[in-house]
Amino acid sequence: MSYVVLARKYRPQDFDDMVGQEAVASTLAAAISGGRLAHAYLFAGPRGVGKTSMARILAKRLNCPNLQDGKPCNTCEVCRAISAGDDIDVIEVDGASHRKVEEVKPIIDNVRYAPSRSPYKVYIIDEVHMLSNHAFNSLLKTLEEPPPHVKFIFATTEPQKVPETIRSRCQRFDFRLLTLADIQARLSHIAAEEGITPQDGLVPRIARAARGSMRDSISLFDQVISLAGNEPTLAHIERILGLTPVSAVRELMHAVAIADVKDVLARVSKVLESGRDPSTFVAEVIDFVRDALVLKAGAGPDLLSYASPDDVAEIVQTYSENDIMLILSQLHELRLRLRRESEQRVMLEMAFLRMARTDQLRSLGELAAELQQVRNLLSGRPARSTGPAPATAPPGQPTEQAAGRRVPAAATPEKIPVAQFSRRWDEVVEAVRVTAKSRWVVAYFPTTKLSRVADSTVVLHLPPSAISNAKGTFEEMELKQRVEEALRTVSGEDVSVTLVADETLRPNLPEENKEKMASASDESVSETIRLIKKVFPGAIVEGS
């Protein structure tokens, strides 16, 4: 006798055997017992969750001549033929290979004939969404008013592709993916029936790999048994599926946690050279980090789906909850990019190196401070430093600003009154010229005229063309900010700057300054975009 695969051998034979679809089974059983059967049903759901099995069970409930307490006997000729898929009155059609209107026409012609030996003639059309539009249209009238002895059962994995006119004529039942617990219980039952002793952790690993499909999980289990015999281990399923051992994922994440860049690159290279699929590998790392997040959030180990508490202990202790969620988001982004990028090695290395430097990323508080700095800059107010004061340079050496420019030390450490700014104006001009990032500021500021100094206000006169060109732009804001910073450095007091147009002033700039002015606008836009992207990494600025 030929070998029968486990997926067929342990196929459900009655509603009570259906795993994970209890709502559908109980509804259909109640409809049969109450005499409220519909003429057409649409079973929709993912692959391998029991749609065709449910259709056959429904057919047996309708046609079995030896029902026992409303259940089919599964021993009579009718039940055996239906289970094998070759009963004369239960016609199974593959919609993928019989999709043309010419191939559907025999169904329409034969529905008027009575069943040969059973109460009902049942048509089961699998993957019904594959039928052509003409085939669907030819079914409409028959489907709406079939003879009383005919029942239609449609099964599909893509119900959205079934025309609305067909769906509206059917009672629809949605089949769900099976839970890990459902699959593990079923696999454990099959193992006990077959005399198989799987290694601890093998059944959960197969259940996770099946991703909610009972048929896939049983097929994988069958494959492992074929390879390993009656005592299959985790190594066997990893060999079959090309999976990465949990220990390898743990060691890679250990290298990430201690920021050992060399070890991170070596382990990523080892994974790729082993021939494992990068997307599958990243999915396993996601499961690993997800388990770490579960424990970090305070949940119990019973919610872990991939690793043990000992495997993820280091990640839980090393990272905060926010850091783990950041790593998870990076892994999800990496998995999406791997589907459309050809340089998968580069993508993997970049992503894991970035994760290794998670502790160097800025916190939300730092981002908020930088955002406030941009707001102050755009509003014309001087930026207030919220971080620690910059370190002072040794005596006799200049200090270093964040922009990398050297600022000359003040001529004298003594502070002077605001009213005496005019005497030190040359020093203020030089400080602004050195620290300013905008070429417009560098070009125009030497032509300014200090006209009046009040209690805490300095009025600066500029040529009218300078004012008109810069009014309301980044250049005007930066000029005000740099002057205020320079004056505050000299006097130690907060001051505000007002710019006014002076008709008596005419710019008399050297050629180099004219060249700087020519590109001032572009430089301003670039600087603004730089600041925005610094605060919002990855932002796309329209027009940049």
Give the residue-averaged pLDDT of 129-150.
92
Q: Where are the alpha helices (DSSP H) in 111-258?
A: 133-144, 164-167, 180-194, 202-210, 214-228, 234-241, 246-257
Whole-angstrom Cα distance, residue 205 to residue 185?
13
The predicted-structure confidence for 223-266, as pLDDT tens digits, reads as follows 999 999 999 998 899 888 888 888 899 999 999 988 888 999 99
**Are residue 47 and residue 28 in the same domain, yes or no?**
yes
**Are residue 160 and residue 185 in the same domain, yes or no?**
no
Cross-strand bridge partners of residue 150: 121
Instruction: Identify whether 513 is part of a domain.
Output: yes
DSSP character for 68? B
- List the CATH number of the domain containing 220: 1.10.8.60
Residue type, 425: W
Q: Are 18 and 29 in contact (CB under 8 A)?
A: no
Q: Which of 140, 221, 144, 173 is closest to 26 using CA atoms?
A: 173
Side-by-side strand order, sheet with 449-453 = 449-453, 457-462, 496-501
The predicted-structure confidence for 369-396, as pLDDT tens digits, reads as follows 767 777 776 665 554 444 444 444 444 4
- List the CATH number of the domain containing 431: 3.30.300.180
Residue type, 282: V
pTM above 0.85, yes or no: no
Structural domain tally of the chain?
A: 4
Three-class secondary structure of residue 98 per DSSP: coil
pLDDT for 405 beyond 50: no
The predicted-structure confidence for 62-71, as pLDDT tens digits, reads as follows 999 998 888 8
Q: What are phi and psi of 283, to 5 degrees?
A: -60, -35
Whole-angstrom Cα distance, residue 95 to residue 103?
10
In this predicted structure, which of 137-146, 217-226, 513-522, 526-535 has the lowest mean pLDDT?
513-522
pLDDT averaged over the chain? 80
**Are residue 327 and residue 440 in the same domain, yes or no?**
no
**Are residue 163 and residue 291 in the same domain, yes or no?**
no
Instruction: Identify whether 81 is part of a domain.
Output: yes
Q: Which domain does 150 fall in, by range?
A: 6-174
Cross-strand bridge partners of residue 173: 43
Tokens of 128: 């019904």
- List the CATH number of the domain containing 121: 3.40.50.300
pLDDT for 29 beyond 70: yes
Domain boundary among 174, 190, 222: 174
**Are residue 499 and residue 438 in the same domain, yes or no?**
yes
Tokens of 31: 């409809």
**Are residue 342 and residue 460 in the same domain, yes or no?**
no
**Are residue 507 and residue 475 in the same domain, yes or no?**
yes
Domain boundary among 174, 189, 224: 174
**Are residue 29 and residue 154 in the same domain, yes or no?**
yes
Instruction: Identify whether 399 is part of a domain.
Output: no
Q: Report the residue count for the chain.
A: 544
Instruction: Identify whether 336 is part of a domain.
Output: yes
Instruction: Identify whether 164 is part of a domain.
Output: yes
DSSP character for 457? E
**Are residue 232 and residue 259 in the same domain, yes or no?**
no
**Are residue 288 and residue 326 in the same domain, yes or no?**
yes
Instruction: Identify whether 400 is part of a domain.
Output: no
Instruction: Identify whether 426 is part of a domain.
Output: yes
Instruction: Identify whether 43 is part of a domain.
Output: yes
Q: Which of 496, 474, 475 is closest to 485 using CA atoms?
A: 496
Residue with the bigger pLDDT between 421 and 465: it is 465
**Are residue 97 and residue 111 in the same domain, yes or no?**
yes
Q: Are 154 and 127 in contact (CB under 8 A)?
A: no
In this predicted structure, which of 288-292, 353-357, 449-453 has the lowest mean pLDDT?
449-453
**Are residue 273 and residue 327 in the same domain, yes or no?**
yes
- List the CATH number of the domain containing 356: 1.20.272.10
DSSP character for 146? -
